[in-house]
């Protein structure tokens, strides 16, 4: 569910007409719905109750500080994978006690940053990282709370670039070596083992892979406890998918996911952490763009728009689908026309959709890419010296620009010409 609906034929974000935002902000831009973000976060907290739990938003999906503050004020924790994301969470007012640090390549500088500022736990991914964290924490005279990420060798049945739980992926330690690695962690100074971490991938559209992984984690919990380790917290990752194509059947709901967690690990008496990103942020956002030209080709007709692959890379990078709708609703009797929807970047890969049936469109018409809140703005670049596009947050009948479009002067002034040129 989202809060982007037509009213009197005009697309609205909550109670704000999208065309009014475009008139003031210019296109292209991202717009997010506070009501949708709130609803999706709340669905997860309700799904896990009454288990002791913390829902940690995966910042990598949408990292704007205003969005993080909105979720943090609701009680969300934050899952960070870099020192920069840690700084964003802190800037949003989220206490270190609700920040989890994940990622395969944490540097010693990032470890020190989190230990100084406060951290709920590090999700450790390798033995070299385990030893490095021990050295850093010991040198600081402190103790780092840790879970160890295990790789359960479960096929998440998702895109190969976002699958993380198979034995040939770079993430975690093999679950078969968990006893050995936990034994080492228990002997290292400066570390406190508190639990287990697992994350098998993103955009999962069925529950069975989760069930396979969580059953393995349940068995591991009992084994590690029998070996003398305190396992009081299970970080079960994120990954629940969203319906990018409205015509397809919907993925499982948070309620179903929560029931699965209770069934597989609820008997262990552990605090549960989950790290959803896409399901909270994905359908909370639109990318709004304007038609520059309608170009009639020999084989295809092209809708050339002012958004490009540098603004939304998912179709180019993953072959991902985003529903595309007009900002002004087409009349019911209007026959669709097939367009290749493309951007202005000088790459054939700058293609959002091929032969997509849409209502006939003309120059200056506005369109919106649905389900663009996750991995949209965060993955954007300035390729072709195109400015990063604005982000806008809507609440009821209000909207605010939460990241402004930089000027060309801002972009050019970041470069420096050496004195010897």
User: Would you name the residues annotated as active-site residues?
Assistant: 346
Question: What's the angle, vertex CA 56, arms to CA 264 and CA 46, rounded to 5?
Answer: 60
**φ/ψ (deg, to 5) at 333:** -85, 0
Torsion of CA 202, 203, 205, 206, to 10 degrees: 10
DSSP 355-413: EEEE----TT-EEEESS-SSSSGGG---GGGPPPPPEEEEETTEEEEEEPPPPHHHHHT
d(CA 100, CA 77): 8
Query: Encoding tokens for residue 67?
Result: 């969005």
Checking DSSP bridges between strand 233-235 and strand 285-296, what pairing results, if any?
A: unpaired
The two three-digit tokens of residue 313, written as one number? 């890379």
Handedness of CA 248, 260, 264, 225 (dihedral sign): positive
Find residue 145's DSSP bridge partners.
Answer: 192
For residue 417, what are its two tokens?
């010409």
Q: Could you give the CA distance from residue 380 to residue 368 in angstroms, rounded to a whole number?
A: 17
Q: Is 134 helix (H, G, I), strand (E, B) or coil?
A: helix
7: number of Cβ within 10 Å: 10
CA 302 to CA 96: how far, in whole Å? 49
């Amino acid at each position: 569910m989202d809060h982007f609906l037509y009213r009197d034929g005009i697309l609205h974000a909550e109670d704000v007409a999208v065309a009014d935002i475009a008139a003031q902000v210019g296109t292209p831009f991202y717009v997010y719905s506070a009501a949708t973000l709130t609803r999706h976060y709340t669905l997860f907290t309700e799904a896990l109750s009454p288990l002791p739990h913390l829902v940690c938003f995966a910042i990598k999906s949408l990292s704007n500080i205003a969005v993080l503050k909105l979720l943090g004020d609701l009680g969300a924790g934050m899952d960070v994978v870099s020192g920069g994301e840690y700084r964003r969470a802190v800037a949003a007012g989220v206490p270190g006690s609700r920040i989890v640090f994940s990622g395969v390549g944490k540097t010693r500088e990032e470890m020190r940053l989190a230990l100084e500022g406060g951290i709920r736990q590090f999700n450790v991914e390798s033995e070299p990282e385990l030893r490095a964290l021990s050295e850093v924490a010991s040198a600081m005279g402190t103790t780092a709370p840790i879970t160890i990420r295990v790789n359960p060798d479960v096929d998440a049945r998702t895109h190969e670039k976002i699958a993380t739980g198979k034995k040939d992926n770079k993430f975690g330690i093999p679950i078969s070596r968990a006893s050995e690695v936990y034994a080492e962690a228990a002997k290292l100074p400066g570390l406190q083992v508190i639990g287990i971490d697992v994350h098998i991938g993103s955009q999962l559209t069925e529950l069975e892979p989760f069930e396979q992984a969580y059953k393995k984690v349940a068995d591991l919990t009992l084994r590690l406890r029998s070996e003398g380790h305190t396992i009081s917290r299970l970080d079960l990752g994120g990954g629940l998918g969203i319906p990018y194509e409205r015509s397809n059947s919907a993925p499982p709901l948070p309620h179903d996911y929560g029931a699965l967690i209770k069934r597989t690990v609820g008997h262990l008496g552990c605090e549960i952490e989950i790290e959803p990103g896409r399901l909270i942020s994905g359908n909370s956002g639109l990318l709004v763009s304007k038609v520059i030209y309608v170009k009639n080709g020999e084989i295809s007709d092209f809708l050339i728009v002012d958004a490009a692959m540098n603004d939304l890379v998912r179709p180019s990078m993953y072959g991902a689908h985003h529903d595309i709708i007009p900002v002004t609703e087409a009349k019911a009797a209007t026959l669709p026309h097939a367009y290749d929807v493309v951007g202005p970047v000088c790459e054939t890969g700058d293609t959002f959709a091929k032969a997509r049936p849409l209502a006939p469109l003309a120059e200056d018409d506005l369109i919106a890419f649905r389900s663009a809140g996750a991995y949209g703005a965060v993955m954007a670049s300035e390729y072709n010296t195109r400015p990063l596009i604005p982000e806008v947050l809507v609440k009821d009948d209000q909207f605010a620009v939460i990241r402004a479009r930089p000027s060309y002067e801002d972009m050019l002034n970041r470069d420096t010409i050496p004195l010897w040129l």
